[in-house]
A = this chain, B = another copy of it.
Amino acid sequence: MNLYDPARIPRSTIPENQEFPMLALSSWVTPENKFYIRNHFPYPVLPTNDWKLSIVGFVQHPIHLNYQALFQYPQITLPVTMECSGNKRTYFQPKTRGVQWEQGAVSHAIWTGVSLRTLLQAAGISPNAREVIFEGMDTGERTDLPGTFRFARSLPIEKSMHPDTLIALYMNGKPLPYKHGYPARLIVPNWYGMASVKWLYRIVATDQEFKGPFQEKDYVVYRSEADTKRRPVTLMKVNAAISQPTDQTIMRRGMHIITGTAWSGHGFVKKVEISLDRGKSWSLVRWLDPEEKYSWRRWGWDWHVPVPGTYHIMVKATDDKDNTQPLQAEWNVNGYENNSMPQIQIYVE
Contact = CB atoms under 8 A, between A and B. Distances in A.
A306 interface: no
Q: Is the interface on chain A under 10, 10 to 19, 20 to 34, or 35 or more residues?
A: 35 or more
Nearest to A345: B95
A141 interface: yes
Contacts of A96: 248
B3 A18 contact: no
A63 interface: no
A277 interface: no
A4 interface: yes
B10 A24 contact: yes
Nearest to A346: B97
Contacts of A10: 6-7, 9, 21, 23-24
Interface in A1-39: 3-4, 6-14, 16, 18, 21, 23-24
A250 interface: yes
A227 interface: no
A252 B143 contact: yes
A287 interface: no
Q: How many copies does the complex hold?
A: 2
Contacts of A98: 248, 250
A209 interface: no
Given A6-B13, A10-B24, A24-B13, A251 B349 contact: no
A4 B141 CA distance: 18
A172 interface: no
Interface in A70-129: 95-100
Interface string A170-194: 0000000000000000000000000
A56 to B, nearest CB: 31
A251 B143 contact: yes
Q: What 7 A-B pairs are tightest by C-beta distance, nearest first? A: A6-B10, A7-B7, A143-B349, A143-B252, A144-B349, A97-B347, A10-B21
7 contacts: A12-B249, A13-B23, A97-B249, A97-B250, A98-B250, A100-B246, A143-B252
Interface of A: 3-4, 6-14, 16, 18, 21, 23-24, 43, 95-100, 141, 143-144, 244, 246-252, 345, 347-349
